[in-house]
A and B are shown apart, each in its own frame.
Chain A
Amino acid sequence: MFKNYLKVTLRNNVRQKGYSLINLAGLAIGMACCIMIMLWVQYEFSFDRFNENIDNLYFVPTHQQYGDQKEIGSGSPPALGPALKEDFPEIVNSARLTVATVWLKYGDKHFQEGIMPVDPSFLVMMSLPAVAGDTRTALSEPYSIVLTREMAEKYFGTEDPMGKTLIVDNKYNLTVTAVLENVPSNSSIRFNILVPMSFDGVLFFENYIQTWFNCSFYTLAQLHEDADYHDVSDKIAGRIKQALPESNLEPFLYPLKNLHLYSISGKGGHIENVRFFILIALVILLIACFNFMNLATARFSKRAKEVGLRKVIGAKKSEIIIQFLSESILFSLTALVLALVLVEIMLPVFNGLAGTSLTMNYYSDPTLVLSLLGIALVTGIVAGSYPALFLSSFMPVRVLKGTLVEGKKGSWFRKILVVSQFVLSIILIIGTLVVYQQYGYMKDKNLGFDREHLVYMPMMGSFGDNFESVKSELLQNPNILNVTRATHKPTGVYWNGSGWNWEGKDAGTNPLVTFMGVGLDYLETFKIKLLQGEFYTRQLSGSAQYSVVINKTFADLMGSGSPVGKQLYHEENSYTVIGVVDDFNFKPLYQQVEPLAMEFRPQFFQWFTFARISPEDMSGTIGYMENMWKKFNPDYPFDYHFLDDDYDVLYHSEKQLGNILRDFAILAVFVSCLGLFGLASYMAEQRTKEIGIRKVLGATVAAIVQLLSREFVIMVVVANVIAWPLAYYVINRWLEEFAYRMDISWMDFMVAGAGALVITLLTVSYQALKAALTNPVKSLRHE
C-alpha cells in the first residue's frame, strides 16, 4: 500500500518541481533554524555540568539589607569560606575565589593579566583536567602559579613551563606548578591563571583574606551527597553576623548548575534568552509549516480528483488521511536531510554571531539523532494534518464531476495562515530595529561627561608615586589639554558600601553609596559640571583628608537645601561635603545613577591617568606619551587605551542580540515570501480563465495586476494591524531591563509595515504580471 502512496507522491513532486522545491526549501530552512537553536539551547543547559561533583557544588551569595531594601550580592567575605567548612559538617569542602590584575613577565614577554587567586581546594572540587602537574597539590605552596594551556603557550611557546618562574608586578617570583586544559566554554567560572589565595594576601596586605566584611570574594561550597541544601542554607545564614554583629550580610546556598541560566537574584539570567530563542525557533518552524499547509491545500484541485477516485474504488476516509500524512512525513524527512546540509553550512556563521563553537555530534550523541527525527516527524504531522483532513473530507461525486469549487472555509484558512506568517515576520522586523536602536542609543548616549579623545593609562609601580611629575611633563605637550587621575574608569565603578549616615537621614534608608578616588582637574578633564560648592583644588588639598564631593543623586537623597558644609558619617569617620557635581553615569546603562562620593586621597593604591588630547596629530601625542612612560615606568610596556573604545565593547551582548535577530528576521521574511510566491502563482493559475476573459473584454495589464495583488495587499495590512500592538508589548517588556531606554517611535512600525508591503508586492507582482501578459487565446482554449 505504501509503495503505491510513495510512487504517487514522488512522481507528483517531480512533475510539479517548482512548488515542491519552494515547499522543500521553506521547510528545510525552518528546520535548520530550529536545529541550530536547539543545539544552542542544549549548550546553554550544559553549563558547568562537566564538573563531576556538579550536583553537590553550590555558590555562596549573600542577602544584603540596605535599610528597607533587600538585595542579593554575589560576593562574600573571605573569612566565610574556611568557616563554612570548619563549622558545618554537611559542607565537606569550600573554596574562595577572587580576581586581581597584575603584570606577568617571562623573558621578553611582559603583559598585564587577570589572575584568579583561589584556595587549593578549588582544583579538587572542580573537574579541571591537568595537562601537566598534579591538581591536588599544585596550589599548596604560596608562590605557585597554574596556567591554562593557552596561557602557557603565550609565555613559554613550545618550552615546558613546569618549574619555570614568572615574575609578578616586577616583585614576586612564582613557580609554574601545573598546566590545565583550557577552561571549556560552557563554564561559568572562567580563568586563565590561578594563584593560591594566600598570594592574594601578599598582593594586598596581611589581613586582607581574613576579614568578615570585604565582599570582593566568591565562595564555593561542596555539600555531602545526603545533605539537604535548603536546610544547610538556612543553617549558614547567620554565620557572618555571628562573627560581625553589625553586618547586614546573610549567606545562602545556590546550586552551581543553575548559575548560568538563572541569576542568583532571580531576575535576568540567561534563561530569558534561552526561552526567547526557543520561541523564535518555534516561530520560524511554524511559518514554514504554515507554508506547507498553504501550498498543499492550494493544490488540492489537482489531488482532489485522485482522492474522489480512491474513495470510489474503495478507500476509507482514514486511509486517505494516512496517505496524505505519510506524504507529508516523507516530505518532511527529505526536508530534514536538506536541513542538515544547511546546518553544516550555516553553523560557522551562527557560531560567529553567538560566540559559540557548536557542532553536530551525530555519532557521540544518540539523543541528537532521535530528536532530529522527532522534529521531522512532528513537523510532518503538524504540517500535513490540515491538508490530510481537508482532502479526505471530499465527497467523491462532487469532485469527480468537477463541481467542487473551493469552499469559503478553505480560502479563509489559507488567508489566516498567510496573515499569521506576516504577523510573525513583522514582529521580528520591528524587534530587530528596536534592539539595534537601543544598542546605538546606549552606545552614543550622553553620559554626563565628554568621552571623546580621552586616553587612559593604568599606573604601575613608581608611576603612581610620581604622578605630579608625570602630569606636569604631559601638560608640556600643547596637544595634551588636561590630565587627571582616578581610581576607576567611568565604564564601571564597583567600590561601594552602605552605612553612610547624615543628619536628618530617614532611618529606613541605607543606600548603597559608590565611592571613587579622584585627582585634581577631574572635572575639567571629563567636562563634568559642578553644581554647588567647589571641587578639590591645589589650595584645598592639604585639608582634603576628610572631605567628599558628592553627585546630584546623593545630594537629593540628603534632603532639601544645599548639602555643602554638611557632615557625612561612614564607619568611624566624618566627612564634610564640599561640593556637588552633576550626575554622570559610572555604570552601564542598565542601572540608574546611584549616589556617588568622590574623595581626594592619594594613598589609594590603584589609579588610572586620564588625559584629554587634541584631535590633531593624535599619533604624535601618543608617541610623546610613550616616551614619557618609558622615562617614568621603564619596567612595564606602554599601555594606553581610548576610553570610547571601551564603550563600544560594553554593550556587546545587545549588539550580538541585534545581529542574531536581524538574521532570523531575514530568514522569517524569506520563508514567508517563498510561501507567498507559491500561493500567488497558484492563485494566478486558478484564475487563468477569468483573466483571459477580462483581457478579451478590455482590461489593461495594470488592471489585472492590481486585481491579483489586491487580495495580498489587504492581507499585509491586516497583518500589520495585528502585529503592531503585539510587537509593542514585546519590546516594552524587553526595554524594561534598561534604566535608560530609547523612545519607541512610529518609524519602526512604519518601516516594518512598509517593508512587508513592498516585499509582498514584489513577490506577487511577478506572478501577476506573468498571468496578465499571457495571451488570452491560450487560457481560453483550455476550456
Chain B
Amino acid sequence: MIQLSDITKYYKSGSINTYVLRRINLDIKEGEHICIMGPSGAGKSTLLNIIGMLDDASEGGYSFLDNDVHSMKEKQRSQLYKDYIGFVFQSYHLIDELTVYENLETPLLYKKIKSSQRKSMVCDTLDRFQIVGKKDLFPSQLSGGQQQLVGIARAIIAEPKLILADEPTGNLHSEEGKKIMEMFTRLNEEGVTIIQATHSERNASYSKRIIYLKDGWQVDSL
C-alpha cells in the first residue's frame, strides 16, 4: 500500500540544513498495524505527516496505493488523503463550536454525502463507539478520553483505508488509553491499516510491527 524510498526531510535556514528525516525506506502493506517509536525530536510526527500527505519530503519517493505522490498536484493529493486517510491527533482537535454529532458529520459534508445517508453513518458510528448519549454535547463538556474517542470516530467515519495516529494517548490517563488501544485493535481486525507514532511501550505492544527512529535515522532498535 505504502512505499517510501530514501525519504529525507530537512529545513533550510541560511546555508545550514537541519535534517529531520534521513533516508527512510519503508514498505507497508494493507491491514498492518505499525508503531513508530523514538525519543522526542526523532522525526516521528514528520514521518506521519509525510505519509499523510500533509507535508512534503525534501528528497525521496513516496508511492501510495501505486500513485506517485510527489508528482501529484495539490488538488489530486488532497482528494487522495480525503478519500483514504483518517488522522487522529494528540490534542484531539475537535471544532469547539460544534456538538459531537456535528463534529462527526463534518467530514461527510466535505465528501458531499447526502443528508439521509449522513444521518445513518453518524448514528452507526455513535453506536459503535457507545457515545450515543453524548451526541448533543460540546467538546468542552467531555472528558479527555471521550474527546479522543470522538476524534477517532471522526477519523474513521468516512471509512478510510488508513489511520494515522500521532500520540493518540499522550493526553490521556492509562484507563482511557487502554480503551483507545482496544478500539484500534478492533478496527485493525476489520481491515483498517493503522500507523501510530508513540512514546509509550505499552501502546507499541498492541501493534504488530515496530519501526524505530533516532535523530531522523531508521534504526533497528533503541
Q: Which residues of A contact B (CB under 8 A)?
A: 1, 4, 7-8, 11-12, 15, 305-306, 308-316, 319, 395-397, 400-401
Contacts and interface: CB of A to CB of B under 8 A. Distances in A.
A305 to B, nearest CB: 7
Contacts of B97: 7-8, 11-12, 15, 306
Nearest to B107: A313
Given A308-B93, A313-B106, 4 more contacts: A11-B98, A314-B82, A314-B107, A316-B78
A313 B54 contact: no
A668 B194 CA distance: 58
23 contacts: A1-B109, A4-B102, A4-B106, A8-B95, A8-B98, A12-B97, A305-B93, A306-B95, A309-B95, A310-B95, A310-B110, A313-B87, A313-B106, A313-B107, A313-B110, A313-B154, A314-B82, A314-B107, A314-B111, A314-B158, A397-B49, A400-B91, A400-B93
Contacts of B89: 400
Nearest to B97: A11
A309 B93 contact: yes
A320 to B, nearest CB: 10
Contacts of B173: none
A5 B82 CA distance: 19
A319 B110 contact: yes
Contacts of B75: 316
B55 interface: yes
B1 to A, nearest CB: 20
Nearest to A8: B97
Contacts of A8: 95, 97-98
Contacts of A397: 49, 54-55
B45 to A, nearest CB: 8
B54 A396 contact: yes
Interface of B: 45, 49, 54-55, 75, 78, 82, 87, 89, 91, 93-98, 102, 105-107, 109-111, 154, 158
A7 B91 CA distance: 23
B116 to A, nearest CB: 15
A173 B78 CA distance: 93
A314 B78 contact: yes
Contact of B106 (A305, A310, A316): A310
A397 B166 CA distance: 12
Given A12-B97, A316-B78, A4 B105 contact: yes
B179 to A, nearest CB: 23
A319 B93 CA distance: 19
Contacts of A15: 97
Contacts of B96: 306
B54 A312 contact: yes
A397 B53 CA distance: 10
A397 B102 CA distance: 23
Given A312-B54, A312-B87, A313-B154, A4 B109 contact: yes
A589 to B, nearest CB: 62
A313 to B, nearest CB: 4
B98 A4 contact: yes
Contacts of A310: 95, 106, 110
Contacts of A401: 45
Nearest to B50: A397
A7 B102 contact: yes
A308 B111 CA distance: 17
A529 B183 CA distance: 107
Contacts of A305: 93
B42 to A, nearest CB: 15
A314 B110 contact: yes
Nearest to A15: B97
A8 B109 CA distance: 14
A311 to B, nearest CB: 8
Contacts of B91: 400
Pick from B78, B154, B158 the residue with the most CB of A within 10 Å. B78
A7 B98 contact: yes
A591 to B, nearest CB: 66
Pick from B54, B75, B89 the residue with the most CB of A within 10 Å. B54
Contacts of A306: 95-97
Nearest to B111: A314
Contacts of B102: 4, 7
Contacts of B109: 1, 4
A291 B95 CA distance: 26
A315 B108 CA distance: 11
A406 B219 CA distance: 37
Nearest to B155: A313
A319 B109 CA distance: 11
Nearest to A318: B75
B71 to A, nearest CB: 20
A397 B49 CA distance: 8
A309 B89 CA distance: 10
A306 to B, nearest CB: 5
A732 to B, nearest CB: 52
Contacts of B95: 8, 306, 309-310
- Lowest 10 A-B CB distances belong to which pairs? A314-B82, A314-B110, A11-B97, A313-B107, A8-B97, A397-B54, A309-B93, A1-B109, A312-B87, A12-B97
Pick from B97, B105, B107 the residue with the most CB of A within 10 Å. B97
Nearest to A5: B109
Nearest to A397: B54
Nearest to B52: A312
Given A4-B98, A8-B97, A400-B89, A315 B54 contact: no
A314 B94 CA distance: 14
Contacts of A319: 110
A312 B93 CA distance: 11
Contacts of A313: 82, 87, 106-107, 110, 154
Nearest to A309: B93
Pick from A305, A395, A400 the residue with the most CB of B within 10 Å. A400
Pick from A12, A15, A306, A308 the residue with the most CB of B within 10 Å. A306
B87 to A, nearest CB: 5
Nearest to A308: B93
A396 B98 CA distance: 19
A613 to B, nearest CB: 77
A400 B95 CA distance: 12
A130 to B, nearest CB: 65
A306 B98 CA distance: 11
B220 to A, nearest CB: 28
A313 B45 CA distance: 17
A315 to B, nearest CB: 5
Pick from A12, A305, A309, A315 the residue with the most CB of B within 10 Å. A309
A1 B114 CA distance: 11
Contacts of B54: 312, 395-397
A314 B49 CA distance: 15
B49 A315 contact: no
Nearest to B54: A397
